[in-house]
Amino acid sequence: MGLFNFFKKTTRLETPVDLSTLGCDIHSHFIPGIDDGAKTIEDSVQMITELHKMGYKKVITTPHIMSDYYRNTPEIILGGLDKVRAALKEANIPIEVNAASEYYLDYDFERKLDEEKLLTFGDNHLLFEISYMNPPDNLMHVIFKMQLHGYKPVLAHPERYNFWHTDFKKYETFIDKGVLLQMNINSLTGYYSISTKKIAEQMIDKNMISFLGTDCHHIGHIDLIKNVVYEKHLLKLIESETLLNKTL
């Protein structure tokens, strides 16, 4: 037991990582009642307040847009954003909050791509996710189409797609195709799985991560972030200068 505690201690930092150096979080679910994130405006204010205390200066919240399940629109999301901003102002929380979306690559996404103005962040960055069961057959085609429309695709939490854990070259293919990768900060805690943590660390070692996001849905995720700041790979990622968060 003593040896285990010694090993555990030496794999963690003694001084927590300063998250204020990130500046901006680019993946969260803080607009209440429209997806699987915040349920009430009180939830929204509580979580955003906690991020502000950790040093975040800006939040770009990204509700789901799915054709079958979360049928959100830019109007719904931006209307909810106004309510969150008003609540934060009333609570006197000095943090900037904007909104984009986490688009799900389903059967209707290409139509949205062709016919709608999609919600983006930064320099026309478009955050998207895919099924956790298996990658869509047309994934590379849709990525290319995003780029043709002038968007810069950002793949949400690639470390969480278990079907690529045994084929690391897939991640390298995304980099080669100009796709930016967004890692969830809590992947480094082992919260999703130990294999997810290992893949996340491997991608950090190879300088493959462009954005770090909380993907915060509830206060439990905030509690995990308070623990992840002692992870050595988080420090390595922030010191790598590959992250674009602070440019937003």
Backbone φ and ψ of 172, nearest 5°: -65, -35
Does 7 reside within a domain?
no
* Model-wide pTM > 0.75: yes
Q: Which among 158, 126, 139 has a CA at the least distance from the CA of 62?
A: 126
Q: Which domain holds residue 70?
A: 23-243
Query: Is the confidence at residue 2, as pLDDT, over 70?
Result: no
What is the pLDDT at residue 234? 97
Say if residue 87 is exposed, middle or buried (CB neighbours under 10 Å; 0-12, 13-18, 19+). middle
Mean pLDDT of 41-58: 98
* Mean pLDDT confidence for 136-153: 97
Q: What is the mean pLDDT of residues 165-183?
A: 97
Q: Kindly indicate the confidence band of residue 224, based on its pLDDT and cuts at 50, 70 and 90.
A: very high
Has residue 11 been placed in a domain? no
Q: How many residues does the chain have?
A: 248
Residue 55 lies in a domain: yes
Q: Does any domain span residue 6? A: no
CB 180 within 8 A of CB 206: no
The whole-angstrom separation of Cα 147 and Cα 73 is: 21
Closest Cα partner for 9 from 232, 190, 203, 222? 232
The answer to whether 100 touches 127, Cβ cutoff 8 Å, is yes
Confidence of residue 207 (pLDDT cuts 50, 70, 90): very high
pLDDT tens column, 85-116: 999 999 999 999 999 999 999 999 999 999 99
Predicted pLDDT of residue 179 = 98
Q: Is residue 99 part of a domain?
A: yes
Rounded Cα distance, 97 and 116, in Å: 23
For residues 138-143, give the mean pLDDT.
97
Q: Considering only CA atoms, which of 156, 160, 161, 226 is closest in space to residue 190?
A: 160
pLDDT band at 7 (very low <50, low <70, confident <90, very high): very low
- What's residue 4's pLDDT? 43
Q: What's the mean per-residue pLDDT of the chain?
A: 95
Structure tokens at 228: 């992840």
Predicted local confidence at residue 10, as pLDDT: 53
Find residue 127's DSSP bridge partners: 102, 154
Please give the full DSSP string across 8-29, using - where no structure is assigned: HHHTB-SS---GGGT-EE--B-
pLDDT of 201 above 80: yes
- Does some domain include residue 10? no
Which CATH number does the domain housing residue 92 bear? 3.20.20.140
Task: Work out how many domains the chain is built from and give that number.
Answer: 1
CB-based burial of residue 121 (10 Å sphere; 0-12 exposed, 13-18 middle, 19+ buried)? buried
